[in-house]
Chain A
Amino acid sequence: MGRGGLSVFVAFIVGAIAIVSLLLGDNPALFGAGAGSEELARRLTLPGDVLLRLVVIVIALSVVIGIVNLLYVHIGRLARGKFYSAVLLASFAVTIAWTVLNKGDASLLEAVQVPIESALAALLFPSLALGGARVMQKRADVWGLLFVAVVLIVLLGSLPLAELAPVQAFSDWLMAVPVNAGARAILLGIALGAAVAGVRALLGQDRAYRG
């Protein structure tokens, strides 16, 4: 068995164990009212728990890999004379030193990171408003028109003006019925896609395993 074959085999075994454990474990009612059903359900739960804990450890380790990658990329950029990378590396060093010297004090994070993220969040508004205005440029069709009309109705409907009560009622109906139905349909489609992608991975057909 080659390296690719071994990966596929391991992926299938681990995937099958995890799916059986997560689907069938932790519910004795599935195995009847017999004396051994609780023990069987408990034993089925165990592999899933172990695998999920392993996932948590791997994700925690991947944060370290991410930080190493960030430093590697920005040291490379600094060597090419990129000023912002120097700022990032200096911020990284100062934050680490601050946290170590002040025994986990997060005031630097609160004083710098939070305001900057808030400012970026505020920038989202003009970006979105501009995007809404540009929709008709990019999609000059009936769907683009419908998109803009719905955005306008919902925005008008959210204004606290008594004169706009009919618009508010229409906006509420839009959100409750067509928008809700559309959102559910999209989520259903995504769930189906996720299931097919999951089965593909389970069957060892994903490229990450095939090499």
Chain B
Amino acid sequence: MDDTTVQVYSVLFIAITVVLVVTARYFQARRGRRMQRQLAGMDQIPQWLMQSIETGKPLHLAFGGAGVGGDNTPAALAAAEFFHHVIQNADASDMPPLVTMSAPATLPLGQGALRRAWRKGNTLSRAQWTPPDLAYAGAVSASVADDEPAAHIMAGSFGAELALMLDSADRRGQPSLAVSDRLDGGAVAYALADHALIGEELFAAPSAISTDEGGRADAAALDVWRGLIILGAAVLLLLEFSKQLPLLSWQLALGAAAVLIALGLIFSRRR
């Protein structure tokens, strides 16, 4: 595939995403609250918040290596949004959550989430930066021994070093929820965390613990994109098996996608 084709597809992809997000937000604003798929561990967060309030122990929220300005900027933004809602719900506690990160550019993001969501102030030392990867894992494991968090929520970019942090939490009997935008981190989270989210669930997590309509709309747009890709892959597979793949053209694919979205909207309105 040459550069021009890649660029055209990229522009199309972004344009479709913008249309989906704007449309989902429009319908969400008109219809209000709607059902959303369940994510693992989300029902545990209110319990952890309650424990934090009752015991006076903070929550530990970790961005890992998710950093603004790098490849994982969207992961950092999604994690910041997720943490904002968690911090807001923990506001009745005496101890502000501990927010850690290994990308220095994420420090203002974490500090901003704390400042906006924690109304009691005194949060300057609660966002903590540590050098990346293993040094981060070592430092976090040591510092959580001092702070004794009620629970750990690790959402962002983690690699295999996540094992050290989760193992440390497990040994202290502290529950954990983890999600990473990296495959190795995701595998470790699945094996070691009490609750693990997988892949794009990181981006749907903020809407699962809040009543923010925009967030729900974004999660719905994400689900529509997923559905379209699964359907597209299935159709491609069928065409390949029936030796009809040459019939496929991008105009046909675009038309089919438009028809499917329209049908989805009609079905959604009737329901």
**Using a CB–CB distance below 8 Å, which chain A residues touch chain B?**
19, 23-24, 27, 29-30, 55-56, 58-59, 62-63, 65-67, 69-70, 72-73, 76-77, 82, 84, 116-117, 120-121, 123-124, 127-128, 130-132, 134-135, 138, 147, 183, 185-190, 192-203, 205-208, 211
Contact = CB atoms under 8 A, between A and B. Distances in A.
Nearest to A211: B116
A124 B161 contact: yes
A118 to B, nearest CB: 9
A109 to B, nearest CB: 12
B200 A192 contact: yes
Contacts of B129: 65-66, 69-70
Nearest to B190: A147
A98 to B, nearest CB: 17
A27 B199 contact: no
Interface in B150-204: 160-161, 163-164, 166-167, 170, 181, 183, 186, 188, 190-192, 194, 198-200, 202-204
B203 A194 contact: yes
A210 to B, nearest CB: 9
B200 A73 contact: no
Contact of A24 (B11, B108, B116, B218): B11
B125 A72 contact: yes
A203 B225 CA distance: 18
Interface residues of B, number: 73
14 contacts: A55-B69, A69-B129, A73-B125, A76-B125, A189-B199, A189-B226, A192-B200, A192-B229, A193-B74, A193-B200, A193-B203, A196-B221, A200-B77, A203-B18
Nearest to A64: B104
A69 B199 CA distance: 31
B89 interface: no
Contact of B192 (A121, A134, A186): A134
Interface of B: 3-4, 7-8, 10-11, 13-14, 17-18, 20-22, 25, 67, 69-70, 74-75, 77-78, 80-81, 84, 104-105, 107-109, 112-113, 116, 124-125, 127-130, 133-135, 137-138, 142, 146, 160-161, 163-164, 166-167, 170, 181, 183, 186, 188, 190-192, 194, 198-200, 202-204, 214, 218, 221-222, 225-226, 229
A135 B166 CA distance: 13
A147 B187 CA distance: 10
Contacts of B181: 190, 194
Most B CB within 10 A of own CB, among A73, A134, A194: A194
